Structure formats: structure tokens, C-alpha cells
Amino acid sequence: MKMKRWLCLLAAACLTVTLACPALGQGDGSDAAYISENTFAALVQNAFPQYRYEPAAGETLLTYERALAMLCAALGVGGDTPADNLTFAIESDLLPAIAWDSDGYVTPADAQAMIAAFAACRDAQAQQDQTDGAAALFTLASTTQSTGATAPTARESAAVVYDIDYNGMNDESYGNTGENRFLNPVDSPFSTFALDVDTASYSNIRRCLLGGYYPETGAVRIEEMLNYFDYDLPQATADDPIAVTTEVSVCPWNTEHLLAMVALRGYEPDAAELPGSNLVFLVDVSGSMEQDNRLPLAQQALKLLLSQLTAKDTVTIITYAGTVGTLLDTTPADRKETIENAIDSMNAGGATNGAGGIEAAYQKARDAYIEGGNNRVILLTDGDFNVGVQSASGLQALIEQQRDGGIYLSVLGFGMGNLKDYEMETLADCGNGNYAYIDTLKEAKKVLVDDMTSTIFTIAEDVKLQVEFNPQTVAGYRLIGYENRLLDTEDFTDDTVDAGEMGAGHRMIALYEIVPAADGEATASTTTSRYQQTEATGSDELLYVSVRYRLPQSGDIVQTGSALTAGEALGEMSETMAFASAVAEFGLLLDDSAYKGGADLESVLSRAAANRGDDPYGYRAEFVQLVSLAQLLAP
């Protein structure tokens, strides 16, 4: 598609516009009037003089689907279906902070925002076409003058040839651990799991939907969907670096059940309080990284992160393909031109010696170690290791040797077709780091700019949660997600067991679907013990949450706890819980969960749109747009 040539430029421009006008098109509920199709068409014609529209009889109110169709036609990129149009708009970031509803009516504010965004898109296209034309003329003139050769045709000049189309392969790998089931609190009173603040699943799901298809089951990890978003939670303090919030309400997809939320927020110190960072960028430059959504996007991502670093930080760049090399030795981060030149010099080609690269990166990180600082290797790859130690278990052993020495490993995944999601998630988990999937420049900005401190600065290590359920008020419970983070009950107090790390300012959400006990009747065990008998304590509590973690600097172990009573149920959901429940319900539908009950996309859409809250970067609005796209793509 012609427009792919300038989408990156457009995305960067739209990022600037969105950040400069974070409230654009959000609306505050005060717009009572909607705009008609004829009025909107006149505005479009004013912005796009070449656009022609025959006014309809009467004043039909404008829907978002019709508005998008008209704007795509005016821009000359109209797709065959509403899903094509919506996909183009989301990919190009042309719906800034608009809570999309295909059949909903458009407010004047949203109409103006959409027209302005599409006009900016047109201008970016014209600018890029002019730049490309001038560059092509210069190249052709230089070639013919110096060699006398016949100039290639336009088709030959524009062609980009790859030996292998990795993006078109069907060789992605995902783990699939099944779903958590309902448990009886008499037989299994404790639910224990390690914290997980990865976000890769959500952005990967977005990539699939924008590609016109639903993700495969193993790609859906509901906890990573939940933890992609920021939530309005009580602040933590330096003395108590993890704040715990609980809430319970009626379960939206099964009104006979309850839904309980356990939310954590990490302490976020001032930037001046943060220690220096010793960052080693380990970049996959093998042949599979050649295409535009891989190494070129990774280079842009690194520059975004570099913009956040200061003189107290250092950067090292290791590249690996068939061989491993030090592209940039340890350099103060304020020498930005030197570092950017090194980033720009990378080219892709060859096999993938991932293990050799990781070994070299850890050695460089050890050489430049900052005592009391943030020492981290950041791996940028599609995860397709084919030279050296290839298996996840082999690389896991390699990484586990280093994490106890204070050097963490984070993984940024790129590409499609051969994406090794399971391997990359495993490496990040073993390395006490984060795993994010970067599909766009906007996502790179989210991970490495907006969420930079929570991504790379750890405030609590080996964070574990344990929830105990009261059999007098609970007949059954089910943890939604976190299947690959479950721990045994005794692991909670075993401080040699590895768990998850929490970054500065991180938010984490966990949801439990609960079957209430019958009035006045304690839940009975499903088995009979020959040697033990249990007796209920008479409490009206629903559950008790315990959190245990290690402080990074002192190594001290901290454990806190709080109870949630059954009497707090049935109130109206907070904005945080309402939005989180919509995200979870969407995950149940994408996963075709056996426990989805009465879940449906319309319920997800309405609850998410009504609880967007403070959405300065438009991430929640984009979620609403993706749910609408899923509706259009549904079989």
C-alpha cells in the first residue's frame, strides 16, 4: 500500500499533536447535540476541496462509521469494509483520544478532531511524496551521470527485496497453560502468585486485530492486558513502597457472582532521587530483523529511550547475528550524538547467536556496574535464536546465573510471523525484568518514555501475593489470568523462590470471580479428612490479601496485609475497577474462555467508554476503538 511509505512520519507527527492536545476530542459530557451527515460532509469538503458528496434528503445524524468512511474517501484511502477504514485510522493514529462506537453518533468536537487529524495526514503524505520525489531525481541523476547506465523504472526503484519475508511466515510460538478453574476455599483456601507487570500480550493482540484477525489462544494473557493501563490508585510512600487497594462488586458477565479486585501501586520517587543507570542495549541484527517493523523500529525506540537519559547514566551497545560485536563501548549517556551515530550504523543480516550476545552483554554490564544503581541489559529481538543455546531452558540457566548479582534483563519484542513470544517472556521473567512487545513507534514511546521509570527502576523485588478466602462467605473463587505466575502456598514465605519485580510507579491489577456462599451456610469441603477437621471462625470477611517483597537496597523482607469484607459488596464499581473489568471481559472473549458466561463485546464497549477517566495519551480511547474493531471482525 502506497501509504505505508510515510506511516512512520505520520505516526510521529500524530504523536506530537496528541501530546500537545491531550484532551482533543475526549469530550466532557457537556455536548448534547450531535452533527448531521450533511453538515459533516460540508466540513470535509472545506478541508478536502476535491471531495464530492451528494447531500442526503433530511438531516440524518452522523455515526462514527459513516464519518470514518467519508474521511477515508476524502483522503483516497477508502477500504473495502468498515473494518479496513477503522484499522487504517488506528494504525495511523487518526482518532486521537476518541472513545469510538461505530454506531454511536458523533459530537461536533469529535468531528472537528477527526477532520483535523485527517488533514494533517494529507499534509504529511504530500510532504513525504515531495521528499521522495526529490531524492529519487537526485539518485537517478547521480547514477546516470557517473555510470551512463539506463535509469531503472519507478517500479524497480521502489522495490524492496528481502531474502525471506519473515513478517509473512506462520511460525509464531506461544505458551498455553490453560485457564485457572474455580476452587473450593475449604480445600484450597489460599491463592498464591507472583507479581507480573509485563504488557506484551496487549500490544501483540492489538497487532493481530489490526492485521484483520483474532489472536490465537496462547497470545491472550489477561493479566498483561490489565497491566497495560495506568489506574487511579492511592499513592505509595517511601516507607511503604507498595500500596494495596481492594474492591468488590457484582461480576458483569455473571450477575450471580461477585468480582473482587486486588490492586497494587509502587512508590514513585522524584527523578532527582533515582540512581544512575548502567544500560547495555543488546540488539539482534540478524537477517530476520531486517524488515521495517524490526531493526529500523528498534533503532527509533533506542533513540526515544536515549532522550530520557542523563550524564549520570551510561550506555553500551552489543550487536549479535552470526557473531557478536561491541558496537559502542560504555559511554556517558549525555554524549548523545556519539550514541545516536552508533545506533544509526546498525544493519541486519546473518544468523542469530542469541546466547553469545547475552553472555557478552552481561560481561559488559558487570564491567560498568554501578553500585546501588540500575544495572540492566535490554534485549531487542524477535526471539528467533538459531545459533548457540537455542532453547528457552538453556538461556534461562544462563540468565539465572546473573540476576542474583544485581543485573536484570528486560526484553523488547519486535516483528511478526516468526515471533517467539514464549521464549522472550521466559527470558524476561528469569532475568527479573519486563517483557514488552513493540509494534509501533507510539508503543515504543509508551514503554520507553511514558513508562520509563516503571519499566527500568525497581522498587520491590520478588513480589508475591497471597489471597485467603473465607469459606463462610465464599463458595468458590477463580483467579482471572496469571496462569503462568502461580506459586505453591508454601512459596509465599520461602524467600528463596523467585517472583516478580515492581518498578517505580507501577500499577498492577488482579481480579477474582467469586461464587458467594449461601446465606448463613459455610462452604463444605469436597473431601473428608481422616486426620483433620476445620472449623470456621465466624468472620464476615470475604478475603484477606497479603503482599510480601524484598527491598532492593537493604534486602529486608516486608509483608503487609488487609481484609475485604462481604458487606462492602454490591456497590457501584469505581472507575478503575469498571475499566479493568471491561479489559478482563474482552480477554475472556478473545480467549473464548470456558468461564466467559454472559460476556459480550457490547458490554465491554459501553463500560470501557463510560470509564475512560483521565486518559492523557489516549490509550484507553484506543482500547475502545479496538473493541469496536473486534466487533467488525467478529465472524
pLDDT of residue 317: 97
How do residues 423-471 score in pLDDT, each as one tens digit?
A: 888 888 888 889 999 999 999 999 999 988 888 899 999 999 999 999 9
* DSSP assignment string, 246-263: EEEEE-TT-TTSEEEEEE
130-139, 156-165, 540-549, 580-589: least confidently modelled range: 156-165
Give the count of domains, the chain: 3
Element (H, E) at 10: helix 7-20
Q: Which of 2-6, 269-273, 503-507 has the highest mean pLDDT?
A: 503-507
How do residues 538-565 score in pLDDT, each as one tens digit?
A: 788 999 999 999 999 889 999 999 999 8
Question: With the CA atoms of 102, 107, 111 and 114 taken in that order, what torsion angle do they form, in degrees rounded to the nearest 10?
Answer: -60
| Confidence grade of residue 265 (pLDDT, cut at 50, 70, 90) | very high
The answer to whether residue 34 scores a pLDDT higher than 60 is: yes
How do residues 168-214 score in pLDDT, each as one tens digit?
A: 656 677 877 789 999 999 999 999 999 988 999 999 999 999 999 99
149 and 237 assigned to the same domain: no
128 and 35 assigned to the same domain: yes
Which string of b and e fits 57-89 if b means at least 16 CB within 10 Å? Answer: eeeeebbbbbbbbbbbbbbebebeebbbbbbbb
In a domain, 433, yes or no: no
Q: Average of pLDDT values for 578-589?
A: 98
Q: Which residue has better confidence, 356 or 112?
A: 112
pLDDT of residue 416: 83
Percent of the chain with pLDDT over 70: 84
103-117, 129-143, 276-290, 400-414: least confidently modelled range: 129-143
251 and 298 assigned to the same domain: no
Q: Which of 4-18, 160-174, 234-248, 394-408 has the highest mean pLDDT?
A: 234-248
4 and 94 assigned to the same domain: yes
172-181, 335-344, 572-581: least confidently modelled range: 172-181
pLDDT of residue 58: 79
Q: Which residue has better confidence, 626 or 32?
A: 626
Q: Which residue has better confidence, 397 or 188?
A: 188
In a domain, 610, yes or no: no
Cell numbers 490453560: residue: 178
pLDDT of residue 214: 95
β 458-469/190-194 pair status: antiparallel
| Confidence grade of residue 2 (pLDDT, cut at 50, 70, 90) | very low
The CATH number covering residue 260 comes to 2.60.40.1230
What mean pLDDT is reported for the chain?
A: 85
The answer to whether residue 338 scores a pLDDT higher than 50 is: yes
144-153, 210-219, 269-278, 603-612: least confidently modelled range: 144-153
136-145, 253-262, 492-501, 561-570: least confidently modelled range: 136-145
393 and 467 assigned to the same domain: no
AA letter at 342: A
261 and 302 assigned to the same domain: no
All 3 cell numbers of residue 255?
450477575
Question: First vs last Cα of the chain: how many Å apart?
Answer: 26
399 and 475 assigned to the same domain: no
5 and 141 assigned to the same domain: yes
pLDDT of residue 144: 41
In a domain, 413, yes or no: yes
Q: Which residue has better confidence, 153 or 572?
A: 572
Q: How buried is residue 54: exposed, middle or buried, by Cβ count under 10 Å (0-12/13-18/19+)?
A: exposed
Q: Average of pLDDT values for 10-34?
A: 44
The answer to whether residue 353 scores a pLDDT higher than 60 is: yes
Q: What is the largest CA-CA distance in the chain?
A: 95
Whole-number Å distance between alpha carbons of 632 and 635: 8
For residues 628 and 101, the answer to whether their CB atoms sit within 8 Å is yes
Q: Average of pLDDT values for 603-631?
A: 94
pLDDT of residue 23: 33
Q: Which residue has better confidence, 390 or 310?
A: 310
The answer to whether residue 152 scores a pLDDT higher than 90 is: no
The domain boundary residue, chosen from 159, 176, 203: 159
Q: Average of pLDDT values for 86-110?
A: 87
Q: Average of pLDDT values for 19-33?
A: 40
In a domain, 609, yes or no: no
pLDDT of residue 167: 63
| Confidence grade of residue 392 (pLDDT, cut at 50, 70, 90) | low
Q: Average of pLDDT values for 408-434?
A: 86
Instruction: For residue 114, give its domain range.
Output: 1-159
In a domain, 431, yes or no: no
| Confidence grade of residue 586 (pLDDT, cut at 50, 70, 90) | very high
Whole-number Å distance between alpha carbons of 41 and 63: 12
The CATH number covering residue 399 comes to 3.40.50.410
Q: Please give the order of strands across the beta sheet that includes 242-250.
A: 242-250, 258-266, 507-516, 474-480
| Confidence grade of residue 394 (pLDDT, cut at 50, 70, 90) | low
The domain boundary residue, chosen from 426, 446, 476: 426
Residues ≥6 apart with Cβ < 8 Å to 540: 472, 473, 565, 566, 567
The number of angstroms, rounded, from the C-alpha of 113 to the middle of its chain's C-alpha atoms is: 25
The number of angstroms, rounded, from the C-alpha of 189 to the middle of its chain's C-alpha atoms is: 32
Instruction: Give bridge partners of residue 576 from the DSSP assignment.
Output: none
3 and 128 assigned to the same domain: yes
In a domain, 635, yes or no: no
pLDDT of residue 461: 93
The answer to whether residue 147 scores a pLDDT higher than 60 is: no
pLDDT of residue 299: 95
**pTM listed for this prediction:** 0.86
| Confidence grade of residue 137 (pLDDT, cut at 50, 70, 90) | low
Q: Which residue has better confidence, 372 or 138?
A: 372
In a domain, 451, yes or no: no
Would you tell me how many other CB atoms lie within 10 Å of the CB of residue 32?
6
Q: How buried is residue 122: exposed, middle or buried, by Cβ count under 10 Å (0-12/13-18/19+)?
A: middle
153 and 4 assigned to the same domain: yes
73-87, 103-117, 483-497, 557-571: least confidently modelled range: 557-571
Whole-number Å distance between alpha carbons of 578 and 581: 5
CA 139 → CA 135, 146, 149, 156, 157, distances in Å? 6, 11, 12, 13, 10
pLDDT of residue 83: 94
pLDDT of residue 33: 87
Q: Is 381 helix (H, G, I), strand (E, B) or coil?
A: strand
11 and 147 assigned to the same domain: yes
Q: Which residue has better confidence, 7 or 117?
A: 117
237 and 337 assigned to the same domain: no
Q: Which residue has better confidence, 139 or 109?
A: 109
All 3 cell numbers of residue 189?
483456601
Percent of the chain with pLDDT over 90: 60
Instruction: Give bridge partners of residue 277 from the DSSP assignment.
Output: 374
In a domain, 198, yes or no: yes
Cell numbers 486426620: residue: 531
Q: Which of 153-167, 273-287, 384-398 has the highest mean pLDDT?
A: 273-287
Whole-number Å distance between alpha carbons of 627 and 331: 44
Cell numbers 447535540: residue: 33
